[in-house]
Amino acid sequence: MISEMQTGIQIGIYLVMALSVFAALAAVNLPNIFHAALAFIGTLLGIAGIFISLRADFLALAHILIYVGAVMTLVIFAIMLTQRLSDPNVRQHNNLSAPAFLGGLAFLTLMAKLIYTTPWPVKAAGTVPHVSVMDLGQALMTTYVFPFEVISVVLISALLGAIVIAKKDPL
Amino acid sequence: MNATESLRYFLPELFLLSGALISLGLDLFVRNKKLVGFFAVLVLLGTAVFPQVSDLAGKPLELFYGFFTLDAYTCFFRVLTVLILAATVLISISYRELSPSEEGEYYTLLLLTGFGLILMAASTNLLMIFLSVEFVSLMSYILTGFLRKSHKAKEAAMKYLLYGSAASGIMLFGMSLVFGASGSLELSIIRNLSATAPFYGVTLIALILFLVGLGFKISMAPFHMWAPDVYEAAPTPVAAFLTVAPKALGFALMMRVLSTGFLWINWKWSPLLMGLSILTMTVGNVTAIAQTNIKRLLAYSSIAQAGYILMGVCTFNETGVPGVLIYLVAYAFTNLGAFTVVIMVSNSTKSDELLSYAGLAKRAPFLAASLTVFMLSLAGIPPLAGFIGKFYVFSSAIQAGYLTLAVAAAVNSAIAAFYYFKVVRLMYLVPEETPEKIPYPLPLTLALGLLLIGTFAVGLAPSVFIKAVQTALFV
Amino acid sequence: MQTHLLSWITFTPLAGALLVLLLPKNNSRLIKSVATAATLLTGALTVKALTLFNAAEPGFQMIEKAVWIPQFNVHYYLGTDGISFPMVFLTALISILACIGSFGIKTREKEYYFLYLLLETGMMGTFLALDLFLFYIFWEVVLVPMYFLIGIWGGPRREYAAIKFFLYTLTGSMFMLLGILALYFKSEPHTFDWVRLANAGFDPGFQKIVFLALFLGFAVKVPCFPFHTWLPDAHVEAPTPISVILAGVLLKMGTYGFMRFSYPFLPDAAEWFRPALAILAVIGIVYGGFVAFAQSDFKKMVAYSSVSHMGFVLLGLAAFTSDGFNGALLQMFNHGTITAGLFLLVGVLYDRAHTRDMGAFGGLSAVTPVYAGILIFFSLASLGLPGMSGFISEFMTLLGSYTYSKLFTGLACIGIILAAAYLLTMIRKVLLGPVNDKWKGLTDINLRELITLVPLMAFILWIGVYPKVILSYMASSVQVLLASVGGVS
Amino acid sequence: MIHYTPYIPLFPFIAFVINILFGRYVRKGAALISIAASLAACAVALPAIAYVVHHGAYSVQTEWLLLGKKTLSFGVLLDPLGCVLLFVVTLIGTLIQVYSAGYMHDDAHFSRFFAYVSLFMAAMLTLVIANNYLLFFMAWEVMGLCSYLLIGFWSEKNSAADAGRKAFLTTRVGDIGFFIGIMTLFAGAGTLNFADLGHAAHLMENTPLLTAAALLIFCGTVGKSAQFPLHVWLPDAMEGPTPVSALIHAATMVAAGVFLIARSFPLFEAAPDAMQTVAVIGTMTAFMAAFIALSATDIKKVLAYSTISQLGYMVAALGLGGFAAGTFHLMTHAFFKALLFLGAGSVIHGCHTQDLREMGGLFGKMKHTAATFVLASLAIAGVPPLSGFWSKDEILAAAYTAHNPVIYWTLALTALMTSFYMFRLVFMAFFGKPRNPKIHAHESPAVMTVPLWLLAIGAVLAGIPGSPFMHHWFQNFLAGGVHAGGHAAGHGSEHVIIPFVVATSLAAAFGGIISAWFLYLKNPGLPAIISRVFRPLYTASLNKLWFDEIYTILFIRPFGAMSRALYRIDEQVIDYLVNKTGLATARTSRIKGWIDKHIVDGLVNLTGWTVQLASALVRLLQTGYLQHYVLIAFLGTIVLFFIELRK
Amino acid sequence: MIIPLEHYLIFGAVLFTIGIYGILVRRNIIGILISIEMILNAVNVNLVAFSRSTSASPETGQIFAIFVIALAAAAAVVGLALVLALFRVRKTVLTDEITLLKW
């Protein structure tokens, strides 16, 4: 029973993965950039699903909030600001597809080989404790307090910069 | 060491950060934005001489649970960084293109970048490496695209960002793999990984992906191609800064990564870096020959210089490592100096074309002489700073017995002399086109004078600097 | 002053250069006098050193040594011996004369004399440095002023000539630097110190590589066939005083390098490369002679004649005998005086006629008899007329090389005939034959020009008639050199 | 007085210095200064000679140069051989200078002329008293220089300027041989001192090195004494003023070559092969030059070829072992040939032409000149008891005793030709009717004729000391000298008159005179017919056996072509290859034009060109197009993977 | 772990490669930015997967991922700001039209 359920979950995960990859392919290939952005949101959701399967619930949530809620909204705004939607005929791909595809294929092959030949030090199932939101918060406030502070500086700086860059000329 | 304990060792950085924030606030109240600039210089100099709380004679301090490694190495680069930044700010103050409406933020951003650069030097784990590199990169993109009016600058910043993000993405992917294989973010633990045979593959891939990310920062071929475009289009002080500081810290980090994380497979990366070093210097020099824009010429030159510095990284022996540091110091003085002259000339001629340097010797003898000194230093002519750097890296190649590398570097140096002298030739041998006089604004002249002194000082009294470097490395 | 005499000699010109920099741009008279005073003072110091110089002492004298870069074991290390002192003296002499010869320069005088004096410091340092690091620095310091001096004040193709000179020599010296570094790292403990390196005893395989590297650096300067092609261009385009410096002193730096560094450090390699050196020397002698013969440009002819004459120096060095080495060293000195004189004379003519095409002249001996006489004098010295210095040194080098190879010596003798051929043809074209009406109004040589030439003539005659004195200064040091390479005396 | 010997050359040298530096102040006084110097030299030299005659050779030396462990000393050696030359040079030199004062009186460069002549005197005297080869060589070269300067004295004339250069270069070819010879000797024997030659020859006995050294030294003679095949310069040297021809190119300098052989005699004796060569070359030269002289029409050219021929005689004599004979002839020849040249100069001075075909019947107008000239001609023809007879007879005797019939008869035939062409000259110039009415000849002033007569006395009497009347005093004196020089074998031992030789000699002398008389006075139309009958021979003689033309084709043209070719290689290949490195981008049209025009810059140039090409290619990659950059980086990464992961 | 670690890694690698492909072929800068985000997400997948299976302390990978997300957001903000600024002056967002700088 458990194994059946596990098989079901496994199939579900693989399905999510397949869908994510499919969405990712769509995101880089769709001729309409707006559609591509939407497809990418699909990928993001899929990845959130994968996170859940890895029992990183908080991360999945944060992922969706930040990406779908913030980044992609921005992206879509940007698309709308810069895109003449009336003109979907603008070619969205350059002529580097062939070398890019071949290069990508080579890279992927290499990676696959590497992934399968490396004896990853996987811990025995069940020995890895569940990481709760509490745990994460604790870690961020203790061990990781320094990066945490740093990233805040980064974000402030980035915001400052973005404002300076994007603000309209006073004249 | 926990956070509270760490803070007292972290005072210089805190000083810098608060300086940045104050300057941001100052921007709101001060009408003459130049004052913000001078304030920034003071902050930077303050950081440089900020009293060290601890004695660094002992073991390196693992501040903030090891997320900030405070050792002599970090201190060295901290001082180098803030000095470079101080020079950058100084030469920015009289930069004509900078409009008052954005000048205040500009200095703040520079100060913040300084913080990021110091983090790079202090990073010993993957997370901090990623964070600091991205931080500096983001700041670089922003600074590059800072000028509102320049189309080229926007374009270059855009390219820079896309290229840079892709590069850090690639590096990050490598980090993820090595993290998986070792189970830790600490470079010191990753080192143990590289000692075991089954993990060679993943270690090497990770190493190469590291090289991509850091190679991007130091403009190492074939990851250098963004550099000329960015250096040409960026505001000249920013270009000066970008050719020096991120590169220097990129090298700092690269050496940290290689020595802490991958020292045991140096027989693998040493030849690789040798090839990349030769490629880098050749590409830089060969392409520079054909340039007609001084900033672009200096851009390619800076690529070539990265190639020479890589020699020291590649050999990684007792001359190579200090060689890199010395070279960086020498290069910082020299390149900043060259850019200072470029700013002064372009302030009056409104052009960065090489042709506008024709007859400069007549119009502005001091500028021409200074630029000549800097060009000679870049070409590695003694007794200037550049020579000491080159001497060191050549030494390391010879000491390591890398004859190919040494010969390639020798040939390259000769090629390089050709285009450096192209500039000199224009200034001295070609009659002037516009007889206009070039003004000498105080901050720029001050910076120029100091950089000139530095260039000579490294060349004539290298022992002082070598001592500093050795302190940074072996204590 | 006594104790730091060599430093004074080296840096007096630099001080003069800095002083020139402070002078007002337009006061040409003041600039000239300061520059001349600096060279004269340097000359006086050199004479002072001459009185202190102990000819019987084979080792280094007047040594100054101070730590400079302790981390690399680099010392500020000056000293002189019988090999370098003649060169120092030559440098001082030629510098004074060329400085006086420079009075004709009318543009950008301040820059000119600044660079000129800087150049002198570089040359002096090159000959006096006993620390390889220091030597390299001075060696390179020479390059830069030279570039400007040719490039700014040269002839129509000056830029080309200047950059060509610069790139050739720089390429060579880059390899030399590699060689120097190799020596440094091979020595235990690592050192640039001449004395230590000379006693290091490197293994032969290593020696060959380093010799080759140093060779590239030195051979370009000599210039040794086939690295000589910068020379005609540089000479032709350079202003007269700079040609004089170039021929009089700079070329000697290459051969001096062989004698001072390559040979004592790398005796086995020197032995091994001896045939190659001799072959290149002979090619240079004959080839330079032939090419000189083909010239119609006066200055170019003299330039190629330098290639030929410096070939004798190399031949002497390949001889590995006391005669060969002494002859080579003497030939360096003599070539310096003779060719410097010839270049000055070319300049005299060019200043007046604004052409150097020998075919355009004719019959000048009737128009400018004093000039003609002096030109003939230097030509004869150059073609090795006995009684003049060139003969002695050529005789000694050939005598030296004779015991090494009769064939090479014989071939080199062709060079002597060639020298007579091209120099006499030059005299024939310029001085003899019917007077060309165009040059009827040419004025004869003036006093200033005479002042630059007469000291050279004095040296040429003195050495030609009684070479024992100058040779006595060289002999003991050369003997040491010879012993170090294991040559026969 | 003998101890002042080393200072003999100093007097003329001082005269030289004064005249060259202060020529424009002393003006005509230059002649006085030079003559005074010569007289002073005479005044020191003659007592010195007397000393040597009574007390034997004198030598002194001082260290000059340290070669390795060997010392090279310079010094003075005055032995009988040197005395002969010293006597000749001081005496004839003085007389000729006196003559020159008249001859050159109107020349614009009067003082310079005397300066050169004084320098020559100084060099020649140094050479004569030199005690070693190096000093000898140095003086030898300085003489060459003076010869060069004096031949080209009238340098406005292109022919004179060319002749000077030719003389210097041609002799220099020989000198280089001499120079290598000296080195060979030094390397082989370790000494250059004449006094040690015997010892040296002994050291190198039977080695090829010795023969080589001797032959190489002989090269010097070939050049200086205008022996075949380097004789071509001497006829051209007649472009110089006539006193110069007399002094340098007849009496003294050219004889220095012979003197050189005589000096090196111990060396040659030890090398029979070399001796043989010397004899053959000398004989060939003697014959060949006489043959050319037969058809010459320029009065000085006839004398020039005659000089070559006579020098050939002396060389042959020495080659045959006739040490005394050669030296003897050297002395007598100096007198009569100087006299001939001065006479010719007087003729030229008097009628302003050198072409024999325009002269004729000058005897009446120039009595002194003609009389002395005829005396000299008789001497050179070998008519007894004039000096030429005694010395020529000695040489023929040497050939006879050497049992070499070919050489003997060739020399005899040459003697015949000599007397023929000399009297052809005499008859054409001084006798018969004037051919060119425009010529108004006049006698020269006393300053010129007095030296003529003084020399004539010499020409007549110089043979006496070597004749049986004085019991071959000269030969014995010389033999003692060789003795003193360290050589054991005697040379003057068998000085008996050989009747057969005397007969041949007399027959040749008178045969030549008579046939000349027959052809040029009796039947003036006959020579033309003869020349037509023996056309090939005549043409050969007239064209001087085509030596100049052959040398032009064989040496001069290839030389020029080679130098131009090498130059082209230098500019276009070596330079081109080298240059391309950096200069490709230095693209002002001027430079480009230059580069196009030219290729040895080539090695560098090729490099440069490669760099330029690479530069262009690499630049092309820098498209400004972001994704090209990323693609290169990405592909680069993959390449790095493959490099690192390969096994 | 419900499915083997390797499968997650392959999934990450595939996403990564698609991202790279996107960077290389997209003309639109926003498209490229999306591709870059995809790369960072692929890394996150790796990080979280490793965090679950091989990491010494289980939260490390997740925290790293959080930082990656945050920085990605920052980069996106700067990037989009630049896009807008660029669009304003150049009226284009296509990479092959921003090639003023070359050679």
pLDDT in tens, B21-47: 999 888 888 888 888 889 999 999 988
Is B164:B156 a contact under the CB 8 Å cutoff? no
Looking at the predicted structure, is the pLDDT value of residue D588 above 50?
A: no
Reported confidence tier of residue D458, pLDDT bands at 50, 70, 90: confident
Q: How far apart are CA D578 and CA D585, in angstroms?
A: 14
Query: What pLDDT score was predicted for residue B214?
Result: 93
Mean pLDDT of C51-62: 88
Query: What pLDDT score was predicted for residue D488?
Result: 38
Question: C131 has which bridge partners?
Answer: C193
Residue D583's closest chain B neighbor by CA? B418
Is C271:C332 a contact under the CB 8 Å cutoff? no
Mean pLDDT of C121-146: 93
Is A110:D634 a contact under the CB 8 Å cutoff? no
Q: How far apart are CA B64 and CA B62, in angstroms?
A: 7
For chain C, domain boundaries:
273-481
Range scoring the smallest mean pLDDT among B199-203, D68-72, D170-174:
D68-72
User: Which is nearest to C328 in space by CA: C387, C381, C281?
Assistant: C281
Where does residue C2 rank: exposed (0-12), middle (13-18), buried (19+ CB within 10 A)? exposed
Q: Which of C110-114, D270-274, D419-423 has the highest mean pLDDT?
A: C110-114
Range of the domain at B303: 265-475
Q: Measure in Å the smallest separation between the Cα of C331 and chain D Cα atoms.
A: 15
Q: Which residues touch D154 (CB under 8 Å, ≥6 apart)?
A: D160, D239, D240, D241
| Encoded amino acid at D365, one letter | K
Question: Who wins on pLDDT, C373 or D534?
Answer: C373
Q: How many CB atoms lie within 10 A of CB D532?
A: 9
Query: What pLDDT score was predicted for residue B52?
Result: 65
Question: A93 has which bridge partners?
Answer: E26
- Let me know if residue B47 belongs to a domain: no
Q: Report how far apart, in Å, the C-alpha atoms of C76 and of each of B461, B469, C140, D620, E14 are.
A: 12, 22, 16, 48, 63
How many CB pairs (< 8 A) connect B and D?
Answer: 81
Above pLDDT 70, what percent of chain D? 90
Looking at the predicted structure, is the pLDDT value of residue B62 above 90?
A: no
- Let me know if residue B454 belongs to a domain: yes
Mean pLDDT of D156-168: 84
User: Which is nearest to B240 in space by CA: B105, B110, B421?
Assistant: B110
Question: Who wins on pLDDT, D534 or E82?
Answer: E82
User: Which is nearest to B155 in space by CA: A96, A165, A158?
Assistant: A165
Q: How far apart are CA B422 and CA D255, in angstroms?
A: 64
Please confirm whether the linkage preceding D558 is cis (ω < 30° from 0).
no
Mutate to test the interface with D, among E23, E28, E35 (most CBs of D within 10 A): E23
User: Which is nearest to D226 in space by CA: D326, D311, D287?
Assistant: D311
Q: Which residues touch D380 (CB under 8 Å, ≥6 apart)?
A: D306, D310, D333, D336, D337, D340, D388, D418, D419, D422
Write the residue in C160, C321, C392 that is nearest to D591 by C-beta.
C160
Write the residue in D619, D635, D640 that is nearest to B287 by C-beta.
D619
Look at the domain E5-97 and name its fold.
Answer: Helix Hairpins (1.10.287)
For Cα atoms C202, C203, C206, give the angle at the middle one, nearest 5 degrees. 90
Handedness of CA E80, E84, E87, E92 (dihedral sign): positive
Q: How many CB atoms lie within 10 A of CB C63?
A: 14
Mean pLDDT of D560-568: 76
Query: What pLDDT score was predicted for residue D557?
Result: 76
Longest dimension (CA), chain A: 71
Chains E and A touch (3+ CB pairs under 8 A): yes
* D574:C229 CB<8 A: yes
Residue B17's closest chain A neighbor by CA? A153
Is A92:E26 a contact under the CB 8 Å cutoff? yes
* E99:D619 CB<8 A: no
Handedness of CA C90, C95, C100, C104 (dihedral sign): positive
Query: B62 phi and psi, to 5 degrees?
Result: -95, 85
Is D307:D258 a contact under the CB 8 Å cutoff? no
Residue with tokens 């005395």: D83
Where does residue B436 rank: exposed (0-12), middle (13-18), buried (19+ CB within 10 A)? exposed
Which positions in chain D touch C321 (Cβ < 8 Å)?
68
* A164:B102 CB<8 A: yes
Write the residue in C163, C295, C434 that is nearest to D582 by C-beta.
C163
Residue with tokens 């922003």: B142
Interface of B with A in 394-423 (CB under 8 A): none
ipTM for the assembly: 0.86
Please confirm whether the linkage preceding C386 is cis (ω < 30° from 0).
no
Looking at the predicted structure, is the pLDDT value of residue B61 above 50?
A: yes
Question: Who wins on pLDDT, A112 or D569?
Answer: A112
Looking at the predicted structure, is the pLDDT value of residue D364 above 80?
A: no
Q: How far apart are CA E64 and CA C289, in angstroms?
A: 77
Q: Which of helix, strand or coil describes residue B40? A: helix
Number of separate domains in chain B: 1
For Cα atoms A4, A10, A12, give the angle at the middle one, nearest 5 degrees. 105
- Cα E69 to its chain centre, rounded Å, is 9
Reported confidence tier of residue D154, pLDDT bands at 50, 70, 90: confident
Q: In this complex, which chains have at least 3 CB pairs below 8 Å with chain A?
A: B, D, E
Query: What pLDDT score was predicted for residue D357?
Result: 77
User: Which is nearest to D637 in space by CA: A106, B134, B280, B256?
Assistant: A106
Query: What pLDDT score was predicted for residue C281?
Result: 92
Q: Report how far apart, in Å, the C-alpha atoms of C141 and of each of B57, B390, C149 are.
A: 40, 16, 13
Query: D361 phi and psi, to 5 degrees?
Result: 65, 30
- Cα B346 to its chain centre, rounded Å, is 23
What are the residue ranges of helices labelled H in D462-553?
473-484, 499-516, 526-533, 535-542, 547-551
* E103:D630 CB<8 A: no
Mean pLDDT of D592-607: 44
Residue D458 exposure: Cα atoms within 13 Å on the Cβ side: 23
Residue C175, chain B, CB below 8 Å: the answer is: yes
Write the residue in A121, A142, A154 that is nearest to B135 by C-beta.
A154
Reported confidence tier of residue D355, pLDDT bands at 50, 70, 90: confident
Query: What pLDDT score was predicted for residue D255?
Result: 85
Burial of A33-58, coded b for 16+ CB within 10 Å and e otherwise, reads bbebbbbbbbbbbbbbbbbbbbbbeb
User: Which is nearest to E48 in space by CA: E68, E30, E70?
Assistant: E68
Query: What pLDDT score was predicted for residue A171?
Result: 46
Residue C225's closest chain D neighbor by CA? D574
- Let me know if residue B370 belongs to a domain: yes
* B387:C140 CB<8 A: yes
Q: How far apart are CA D281 and CA D284, in angstroms?
A: 5
Query: What pLDDT score was predicted for residue B372?
Result: 93
* C295:D567 CB<8 A: yes
Pair of tokens at residue C332: 């360096």
Query: What pLDDT score was predicted for residue D484?
Result: 41
Query: What pLDDT score was predicted for residue D578?
Result: 55
- Let me know if residue B276 belongs to a domain: yes
Burial of D414-436, coded b for 16+ CB within 10 Å and e otherwise, reads bbbbbbbbbbbbbbbbbbbebee
Q: How far apart are CA B187 and CA D222, in angstroms?
A: 89
Q: In this complex, which chains have at least 3 CB pairs below 8 Å with chain B?
A: A, C, D, E
Q: What is the pLDDT of chain D when averaged over all its residues?
A: 79
Looking at the predicted structure, is the pLDDT value of residue D584 above 50?
A: no
Q: How far apart are CA E103 and CA E94, in angstroms?
A: 20
* B228:D644 CB<8 A: no
Query: What pLDDT score was predicted for residue D7?
Result: 85
Please confirm whether the linkage preceding B383 is cis (ω < 30° from 0).
yes
> What is the DSSP annotation of B314-329?
HH-STTHHHHHHHHHH
* B414:C167 CB<8 A: yes
Q: Which residues touch C275 (CB under 8 Å, ≥6 apart)?
A: C318
* A70:E73 CB<8 A: yes
Looking at the predicted structure, is the pLDDT value of residue D133 above 70?
A: yes
Pair of tokens at residue D338: 């100087």
Reported confidence tier of residue D606, pLDDT bands at 50, 70, 90: low
